[in-house]
């Protein structure tokens, strides 16, 4: 019998698939804007999509909402207000519900952030990447260091409950000193949260086809270590492989992903993961990727959900791909609560991980060790299905969208 918990926490992910220009390293479902953004049609489509999702939900109370992209800060505050109102009409937002919006500094006009705050956004996540003009140009960003600083200052002044800065390291031609200086610049802006990602070359990107010269892996490792030390020295706890927060400012939405909670996904190319407690199964879904196809689907009220049940033998790997990213680990009971699988089924893999020094288990809590975090891919292999095919759910990703997505290559 499946051993699921009675209630699995639910979040909502909203995808906005447009950017001013496509960055050469980015494999998100994002499309450079050629004409004006069809924001009214898109908000209508999102709400039709949500309506259809609600029919499949066993509970409609959500703990968090994440409006990610692409570049959601391209939307006007009025459109964001209509979206949040529409979500509130269809779902029950838990008290203190965290509502994040991702922003690109190049789209941070004065007044826009204040408008987002008034529209109900509680947490802003700004993709600054670096403060160095030459490095920003090398990775094809639309903004410079001054605009990155200005965006963070505006976020601070707009008085969000929490604001995050995304920084990347191991950029083309970046030195250790430059990486250090980016961290120092970020800290001066006093974000409550910081995501620190190693630049990875993803298939289907310009950088993958024409790779720039990146710092050696050993240098990248030292960059990550010096970053971790500097952040910890200033009171930011590393609570996930790439995520750092002042106490109490951890991203609740991403924590729900990492704890293998549920999420409905609306928008072009949005992923969802929902547990059907009645049938005792976990299923993933994926919407039409292309914005045009998605808008067309909304007009016809025929969304392509591409629902796929995760095979039982893939669930341990899918669970661990998320939960082992948590630096402080997790209560082992969570495994059965979220996967429905008895803990005994993975006892051999757990014992092997422990004997290899990759995890520690104490008082029912499992924690990845420094070695386990550094060689996370090797650790995860222990939980992969032992019989062929050795892959995850039908090509749908195991790691969710959001600001903690890209970092299996991270130290
Ligand atoms: C959807 S974007 C954030 C908002 C906005 N689109 C922007 O770029 O400013 C999410 C974050 O993922 C990170 N990211 C994207 N592609 C990456 C890659 N190839 N390697 C490492 N991090 C990446 C960046 O830090 C980026 O800010
Ligand atoms: S990194 Fe952000 S701004 Fe650049 S293309 Fe990707 S989603 Fe758009």
For 101, the enclosing helix (H) or strand (E) is strand 92-103
For residue 30 and ligand 2, the question of a CB distance below 6 A is answered with yes
CA 359 to CA 357: how far, in whole Å? 6
CB 130, CB 136: distance < 8 Å: yes
Peptide bond just before 386 cis, omega within 30 deg: no
C-alpha 113 to ligand 1 mean position (Å): 19
C-alpha 30 to ligand 2 mean position (Å): 7
CA distances (Å), origin 338, targets 61, 246, 262: 18, 28, 9
Residues near 302 by beta carbon (within 8 Å), at least 6 away in sequence: none
One pLDDT digit (tens) per residue for the chain, 411 residues: 568 998 999 999 999 999 999 999 999 999 999 889 999 999 999 999 999 999 889 888 999 999 999 999 999 999 999 999 999 999 999 999 999 999 999 877 767 999 999 999 999 999 999 999 999 999 999 999 999 999 999 999 999 999 999 999 999 999 999 999 999 999 999 999 999 999 999 999 999 999 999 999 999 999 999 999 999 999 999 999 999 999 999 999 999 999 999 999 999 999 999 999 999 999 999 999 999 999 999 999 888 778 999 999 999 999 999 999 999 999 999 999 999 999 999 999 999 999 999 999 999 999 999 999 999 999 999 999 986 544 444 333 334 444 333 332 222
pLDDT single digits (tens) 70-111: 999 999 999 999 999 999 999 999 999 999 999 999 877 767
C-alpha 127 to ligand 1 mean position (Å): 6
366-372 long-range contacts, CB within 8 A, separation 24+: 366/329, 366/330, 366/332, 367/327, 367/328, 367/329, 368/324, 368/326, 368/327, 368/329, 372/324
CA distances (Å), origin 262, targets 12, 244, 304: 9, 23, 19
Q: Look-up: residue for tokens 């950029």?
A: 171
Dihedrals φ, ψ of 379, to 5°? -60, -45
In this prediction the pTM is 0.94
CA 174 to CA 332: how far, in whole Å? 40
For residue 18 and ligand 1, the question of a CB distance below 6 A is answered with no
For residue 166 and ligand 1, the question of a CB distance below 6 A is answered with yes
Ligand in closest contact with the CA of 19: 2
For residue 104 and ligand 2, the question of a CB distance below 6 A is answered with yes
CA 385 to CA 94: how far, in whole Å? 36
Q: Name the residue of 16, 18, 25, 30 to mutate for ligand 2: max ligand atoms within 8 A of Cβ.
A: 30
CA distances (Å), origin 151, targets 130, 194, 228, 333, 364: 13, 15, 24, 42, 43
CA 67 to CA 64: how far, in whole Å? 10
pLDDT single digits (tens) 373-409: 999 999 999 999 986 544 444 333 334 444 333 332 2
C-alpha 176 to ligand 2 mean position (Å): 25
CA 327 to chain centre: 16
C-alpha 401 to ligand 1 mean position (Å): 11
């Amino acid at each position: 019998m499946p051993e699921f918990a009675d209630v699995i926490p639910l979040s909502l992910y909203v995808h906005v698939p447009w950017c001013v220009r496509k960055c050469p390293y980015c494999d998100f479902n994002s499309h450079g804007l050629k004409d004006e953004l069809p924001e009214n049609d898109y908000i209508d489509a999102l709400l039709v999509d949500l309506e259809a999702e609600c029919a499949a939900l066993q509970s409609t109370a959500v703990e968090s909402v994440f409006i990610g992209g692409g570049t959601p800060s391209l939307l006007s505050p009025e459109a964001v207000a209509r979206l949040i109102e529409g979500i509130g009409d269809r779902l029950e937002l838990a008290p203190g519900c965290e509502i994040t919006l991702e922003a690109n500094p190049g789209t941070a006009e004065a007044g826009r952030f204040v408008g987002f705050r008034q529209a109900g956004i509680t947490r802003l996540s700004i993709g600054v990447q670096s403060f160095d003009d030459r490095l920003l140009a090398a990775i094809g960003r639309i903004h410079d260091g001054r605009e990155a600083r200005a965006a963070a200052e505006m976020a601070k002044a707009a008085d969000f409950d929490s604001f995050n800065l995304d920084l990347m390291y191991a950029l083309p031609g970046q030195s250790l000193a430059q990486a250090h200086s980016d961290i120092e610049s970020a800290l001066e802006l006093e974000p409550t949260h910081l995501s620190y990602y190693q630049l990875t070359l993803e298939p289907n990107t310009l950088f993958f086809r024409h790779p720039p010269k990146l710092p050696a892996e050993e240098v990248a490792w030292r960059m990550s270590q010096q970053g971790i030390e500097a952040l910890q020295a200033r009171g930011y706890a590393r609570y996930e492989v790439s995520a750092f927060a002042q106490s109490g400012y951890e991203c609740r939405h991403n924590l729900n992903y990492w704890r293998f909670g549920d999420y409905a996904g609306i928008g072009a190319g949005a992923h969802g993961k929902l547990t059907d407690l009645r049938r005792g199964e976990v299923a993933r879904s994926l919407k039409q990727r292309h914005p045009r196809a998605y808008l067309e689907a909304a007009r016809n009220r025929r969304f392509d959900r591409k629902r796929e049940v995760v095979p039982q033998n893939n669930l341990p790997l899918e669970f661990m791909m998320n939960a082992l990213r948590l630096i402080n680990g997790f209560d082992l009971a969570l495994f059965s609560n979220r996967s429905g699988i008895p803990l005994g089924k993975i006892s051999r893999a757990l014992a092997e991980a422990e004997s290899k020094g990759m995890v520690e288990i104490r008082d029912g809590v499992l924690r990845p060790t420094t070695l386990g975090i550094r060689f996370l891919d090797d650790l995860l292999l222990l939980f992969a299905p032992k019989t062929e095919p050795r892959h995850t759910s039908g090509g749908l990703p195991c790691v969710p969208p959001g600001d903690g997505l890209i970092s299996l290559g991270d130290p």
